[in-house]
Chains A and B, each alone.
Chain A
Amino acid sequence: MSLEGEERRRVLPQRPITWIDRIWNYFASVKIAMVYIGLIAVTAIIGTLIPQENTIPSVDPATFYAGKFGRFGSFMFNAGLTRMYSSWWFLCLLLLLAISLIICSWERIVPLYKSLTHQTVKKSIQWIRQRQLYYGMSDSTDEDMERLNSSLSGRHYKVSRKDGALLAEKGRFSRFGPYIIHIGLLLVIAAAFSRLLPGWFFNADLIIDNGQTMAVPHTPFSIRNNKFMMEQYPDGRAKMYSTDATLFDNGKPAVSNTITVNHPLKYKNVLFFQESFTTPRFQSAVVTLSKDSKHSIGNFSLDLTHLRSTYHVGAYTVSTINYFPDFSVEGSAPVTVSPEPQKPVFIFEVKGPGITKPQPQWFVLFMPVMSSFLSKDAPLQFGVNAVQMTQSTVLRVHKDVTVPLIYFGALVVLAGLATTFYFQHRRWWARLEDGVLHIGCHTNKNWFAIKKDFEVVMMGLGVNERQEQGSDRT
């Protein structure tokens, strides 16, 4: 504990204590602040142990948690434990900590400033004796005091003298370090809360096909995906992916650029990040119709984004009976797993010259070999040419005007941390009385450093054996 900390007295108001005083006193306690820090840490831990809503493979959290964890799951969902970090009570804890930071700091910084600017140079001998390090030099004269003075000045101490007493100090500013940290933290918390203001913050994911233009929510912008590109390592992992995009402001092209991971596109405080991409899917194909390998009849183009119910090839008509965009088999029934054409399968029916009784016929676009295998007895066979695949880019649109404030807050915190921990307030008191030079010194943090100072200065005064009051190292 610091010397000033011990001296800090609460000035009681000269009036009855009101409820405001009680609340103020409650928040002025460092213990209470530590309780909030502890509670935030504990809730944060719980949040990492319970799968949070943004990480679950379901769009309906209520049923998901109830299904997976039973009644306990429903409880977690209803109590907000599944969206821990945005729950109202987590935000309340942060707010309470912020209040506590303000009041605790205010309660201490003013008395600290006052006591540091009005220090008594002449302390009692008894008081000096109780410092962390103390030495009483007998047979001393004013000359010894002068030597102590110059020795300390030489070590960059600021020395004040007053009738036979000496006070030397350095690194006083480091005492204010903790409050600089607190101010920085308050800035960060304030920035985090200001995201709740309308228009200050939003976040959205845009899934855009090649060539598609999409409106950007909450802005007058729209963005076009000119081309999505991707490179892979030989083992199939992504090496690089990027989107060649054009941004429109009120319909007019404003900026064109390539967006890659770590290199977003920035326009008027809105950032576009390369987030991810969708699995490749089929876009179009040219389907051939033939009697056998030698007698081709013709072909038609199958556009998966604009499907038709019938296609004409020469004298023949191909009608769609059924379509499975993302084919799979459940039990023994064919199903589609998603509406995305990732494994497209068709059931066609071909009518035309020479076909008396039309039969449903499988057409497996994602694996053409299967089509001929499944319908080798059919009069006509399907073949596939010129398959076009497509992949959409996933861009994250992000507007966060609080980022500079967060950075600034973090910078203040770091400056405070450096001030607090890499500098120390060191003080010496000395008094010459009855031929004895009493020397005591104190630091609030780095005991090793002041001990070294003490040894060197004592050596300069011709003292080889030091005597210390090791018991009171606070």
Chain B
Amino acid sequence: MMGVSSAFLGTAFVSYVFATIFNVIGVTGRKIKQKDGKSARKSWFTWGYGVAVFGVAAQAIALVTRWIGSGHAPVSDMFEYMSFWAFCIMLAFVVISGVYKFPVLGAFVCPVGVFVLAYASVFSRTAEPLIPALQSYWLYIHVTTAALGEGIFTIGFAAAFMYLLRITNVQEKSRTGKFLEFTVFLFLALFSYVITALAFNAGAYSVQDQTSGSIYNIPPLVGPMGVALGSMTHWLGMSLPLFDVPNWLPGAKSGSNFNGIVWTLIAACIVYGILRLIANRPLVHYASKWVGDVEPEMLDELSYRAIAIGYPIFSLGALVFAMIWAQEAWGQFWSWDPKEVWALITWLYYTLYLHLRLTQGWQGKAAAWMAVGGFAVVLFLLIGVNLVIVGLHSYA
């Protein structure tokens, strides 16, 4: 069953990659003509959408088979959760794009889905048996609903990002242009981290620190607290670690987590630098062409629609169901655990977005930046809290 599940997950991943490629061709290849002289755009979009639907179906089968194989719903560790989030993003795309007939969205949402799924594959894939607190169906309900809400917020982010690209003249120097370029950089950072981690994974790289017992799967530029510099290993002629993690970072894994962040930044700078040199201009120039001639008002409205649809689902999944589960498992529906607090912060953030939009007339640029920022908050909720802060949810 687990083998079947992996095969379907692989199929889904390949489908998402193709959906991305088709959609990007759809938005860039305006000049490609069919035999009858009409632009081939539409058929690229149709194919892109079709492949995305196929991928979502394949991942749904992967989820069900993994559930059967492992005996628990596949949402209980970081690999499973991140894959599920990618599933939700793609599902939200398929539904929203289908309802609102908005093909351009695919070129921006599909790559996010691909990267989130690739990021998931960095984590261990073995289905671990569950500790007692996780053996509850409220957990499944809570996690799936929350992930669905976060998936829909991702659509809101993508549409807002497209809106900003559409209204900004990136040829001219502007603060918005710089911020957009920075967003592209952050996107590449996720990509670089995935590539780095997968490359060292493929080489089965592993170094263990003798004193703390922590295991590194990428070379330890940053050591655990209190390890003698240069004592852990040698890599490319360097004695590692080069420095130790600062002692104000809490958590047993703070060393390897911080090491991951340093690696991400280095790899991101290299990938970005190379692309920037080849392009010889800010990368956002390319992305800005993808948006083409879509009405900005449509993008603005779509971003807002997505957030308005996602907000109740997020409230239900990330707060209400979470409270019910905590009450059932620990007898305390709210214990100010960092993950809980960040779910609340995310909720407050989108609450502010909706109030600013509905009562203070924040539309267009300001609202779009808030939607983009909201995605950063969601990313911190899902990944940052686990890397930087530890708490009751530290098992995930």
A interface with B by C-beta (< 8 Å): 1-2, 5, 30-31, 33-34, 37-38, 40-41, 44-45, 47-49, 51-52, 55, 69, 84-85, 203, 233, 237-241, 260-262, 264, 271, 273-275, 396, 398, 400, 403, 406-407, 410, 413-414, 417-418, 420-422, 444-448, 470, 473-474
Which of B78-86, B170-178, B346-354 touches A? B346-354
Contact yes or no, A396 B358, CB < 8 A: no
Q: How far is the CB of A409 from chain B (nearest CB, A)?
A: 10
Contact yes or no, B329 A262, CB < 8 A: yes
Q: Does B383 contact A (CB under 8 A)?
A: no
Q: Does B263 contact A (CB under 8 A)?
A: no
CA distance A37 to B355 in the complex (A): 11
Contact yes or no, A238 B301, CB < 8 A: no
Which 9 A-B pairs have CB atoms at the shortest separation, nearest pair first?
A261-B132, A417-B312, A273-B331, A398-B331, A41-B348, A48-B338, A262-B136, A85-B336, A410-B320
The answer, among A30, A273, A417, for a CB contact under 8 Å with B330, is: A273
Pick 12 A–B contacts, CB within 8 A, sort by A. A5-B359, A30-B359, A37-B348, A40-B348, A41-B345, A47-B341, A48-B385, A84-B336, A261-B135, A273-B329, A410-B323, A417-B316
Give the interface SS of chain B, mostly helix, strand, loop or mixed.
Answer: helix
A-B pair count, CB < 8 Å, reads 122
CA distance A448 to B96 in the complex (A): 12
CA distance A470 to B296 in the complex (A): 12
Q: How far is the CB of A25 from chain B (nearest CB, A)?
A: 16
CA distance A271 to B332 in the complex (A): 10
B interface with A by C-beta (< 8 Å): 100, 129, 131-133, 135-136, 248, 250, 297, 301-302, 305, 308-309, 311-312, 315-316, 319-320, 323-324, 327-333, 336, 338, 341-342, 344-345, 348-349, 351-352, 355-356, 358-361, 363, 385, 389, 391
Contact yes or no, B389 A48, CB < 8 A: yes
Residues of A within 8 A of B342 (CB): 48
CA distance A445 to B132 in the complex (A): 44
Residues of A within 8 A of B358 (CB): 1-2, 444
Residues of B within 8 A of A261 (CB): 132-133, 135, 329
CA distance A261 to B138 in the complex (A): 13
CA distance A267 to B384 in the complex (A): 40
CB closest residue in chain B, given A56: B250
CA distance A254 to B206 in the complex (A): 56
Q: How far is the CB of B365 from chain A (nearest CB, A)?
A: 15
The answer, among B301, B324, B329, B349, for a CB contact under 8 Å with A41, is: B349
Residues of B within 8 A of A203 (CB): 331-332
CA distance A5 to B132 in the complex (A): 51
Residues of A within 8 A of B135 (CB): 261-262
CA distance A51 to B249 in the complex (A): 10
Q: How far is the CB of A193 from chain B (nearest CB, A)?
A: 13
Known A1-B359, A262-B135; judge A473-B297 contact (CB<8 A).
yes
Give the interface SS of chain A, mostly helix, strand, loop or mixed.
Answer: helix
Contact yes or no, A275 B330, CB < 8 A: yes
CB closest residue in chain B, given A417: B312
Q: How far is the CB of B100 from chain A (nearest CB, A)?
A: 6
The answer, among B131, B297, B329, B338, for a CB contact under 8 Å with A470, is: B297
Contact yes or no, B301 A47, CB < 8 A: no
Contact yes or no, B332 A421, CB < 8 A: no
Known A275-B330, A414-B320, A473-B297; judge A233-B129 contact (CB<8 A).
yes
Q: How far is the CB of A60 from chain B (nearest CB, A)?
A: 19
CA distance A264 to B332 in the complex (A): 12
Q: How far is the CB of A363 from chain B (nearest CB, A)?
A: 31
Q: How far is the CB of B13 from chain A (nearest CB, A)?
A: 29
The answer, among B323, B336, B355, for a CB contact under 8 Å with A47, is: B336
Contact yes or no, A418 B331, CB < 8 A: no
CA distance A233 to B342 in the complex (A): 32
Contact yes or no, A51 B250, CB < 8 A: yes
Residues of B within 8 A of A420 (CB): 312
User: Which among B248, B331, B341, B349 has the greatest number of chain A C-beta atoms within 10 A?
Assistant: B331
Q: How far is the CB of A36 from chain B (nearest CB, A)?
A: 10
Q: How far is the CB of B309 from chain A (nearest CB, A)?
A: 7
Q: How far is the CB of A83 from chain B (nearest CB, A)?
A: 10
CB closest residue in chain A, given B348: A41
CB closest residue in chain B, given A396: B331
CA distance A398 to B329 in the complex (A): 12
Contact yes or no, B333 A396, CB < 8 A: no
Known contacts A51-B250, A410-B323; 9 further A-B pairs (Cβ under 8 A): A30-B359, A34-B360, A44-B345, A48-B385, A48-B389, A55-B391, A274-B132, A396-B330, A421-B309
